[in-house]
Chain A
Amino acid sequence: MKNIKVLGTGCSNCKNTIKLLEAVAQEKGVEIHVEKVEDIQDIMRYGIMSTPGVVIEGQIVHAGGVPSRQKVEGWLQG
């Protein structure tokens, strides 16, 4: 079970990021728990400057734009 946070104020790129995460997780049979962080003050605590950002187990792994499928597959690898 991986805890994933998606940081973003709710634009289409953020939604697409969540969709992509869920799709890849399902394909790989990895259990994930996705949490949306939409409050700007909370987002800024992670120190990113472009959204959507992705946080996995407390670590920022991505900021700005929908991540590539390859990247997502890498995160959900074992």
Chain B
Amino acid sequence: MNINTTAATRTWPDIHPKEFLAIAAALWVALYWALAPVSEALVAALPVDRASHLGGALQFFLYDTPKVLLLLTGIVFVMGMVNSAFTPERTRVLLAGRTEGVANVMAASLGVVTPFCSCSAVPLFIGFVQAGVPLGVTFSFLIAAPMVNEVALTLLFGLFGWRIALLYLGLGLSVAIVAGWVIGRLKMEAYLEDWVRDMPRIVARAEALRLTLSDRVEAGFAAVREIVGKVWPYILAGIAIGAAIHGYVPEAFMASFMGKDKWWAVPLAVIVGVPMYTNAAGVIPIVQALLAKGAALGTVLAFMMSVIALSFPEMVILRKVLKVRLIATFVAVVAAGILLVGYVFNAVL
């Protein structure tokens, strides 16, 4: 590779990361503030009555779509920059050899910031156990990582407000911490598959990362390409559903069978969620539709957590490293935690 070609592949943000970040941030804020007036002006320019159902639905769609996409792009970019410092290898070093309790809290919190693809669940699981991370702590990480992440939180914030996003963050972390702690107390190490138990122990090590600001900006771009590129159709679908039912489906439709007064709604939501396998973005359209039509918040959040945290395909993959009894315990403990979240929410709000 000669110097000329290297220079040509380096982009402007790569060479001037600080300037790029400053300009991008300013542009982002300007766009965000312009959204409401621009979407109102657009709808006003269309030949529909703003006060009509269609006008309301259009305004909702034209405002919410760019708003959520803008939020998501910004947050995923920033989180991509932050996440580049938390590789699974470094997380393992932080957790190895710690005692349970505090380590469960750390594991669940690290689960939020460590980039992690669900297909890596098994290698990660083995890697943790091999390095002496306690089983319960490993589970805290594995439960929190897919369930509580920047995509879920951004979407909840953009569509339902910061209160619901914070509640989801707090409850998701609590379920992961407590469920992992309980699994640790049950001392189930014997129910790992034999070949996993027999694997040689290793000492967790991680290379020191020396990331420049340019590297981080690049990691931010990569995260946006990978995550936003994948989830935008779900978000569009979710907002379209939200807009479509904005006034067309009777307000109390869902309340009749997913309302607060139905004690069986929460367990049902958890059970229905298990065979469904999708990520946080995929479940948002359904959450949107349910909430808009009067389903109780606790029931809907329980459903969302169940879809993301408990799934058949994941259990099939985990079966390669865990014996059936440990998988059953994992499912039972997590399901119990989610149920509790659902009931508490419905009772308090």
Give residues in A with beta carbon < 8 Å to B.
Answer: 8-11, 13-14, 40-41, 43-44, 47-51, 64-66, 68, 70, 74, 77
Contacts and interface: CB of A to CB of B under 8 A. Distances in A.
A51 B119 contact: yes
Interface in B102-147: 115-120, 122-124, 126-128
A66 to B, nearest CB: 8
Contacts of B308: none
Nearest to A14: B119
A17 to B, nearest CB: 12
Contact of A64 (B9, B88, B320): B88
Q: Is the interface of B mostly helix, strand, loop or mixed?
A: helix
A47 B202 contact: yes
- The interface size bin for chain B is 20 to 34
A-B pairs with the 9 shortest C-beta distances? A11-B119, A49-B127, A50-B120, A49-B88, A40-B320, A49-B124, A51-B120, A50-B88, A49-B123
A56 B281 CA distance: 35
Interface string B77-107: 0000000000111001000000000000000
Given A51-B120, A64-B87, 6 more contacts: A8-B119, A14-B119, A40-B126, A40-B321, A49-B120, A51-B119
A33 to B, nearest CB: 24
Nearest to A70: B9
B170 to A, nearest CB: 27
Contacts of B317: 9
B9 A50 contact: no
Contacts of B92: 49
B115 to A, nearest CB: 8
A7 to B, nearest CB: 8
A77 B122 CA distance: 32
B3 interface: no
A13 B225 CA distance: 13
Contacts of A11: 117-119
20 contacts: A8-B119, A10-B119, A14-B119, A40-B123, A40-B126, A44-B123, A44-B199, A47-B127, A48-B123, A49-B89, A49-B123, A49-B127, A50-B120, A50-B124, A51-B123, A64-B87, A64-B88, A64-B115, A65-B222, A74-B1
B204 to A, nearest CB: 10
A9 B122 contact: yes
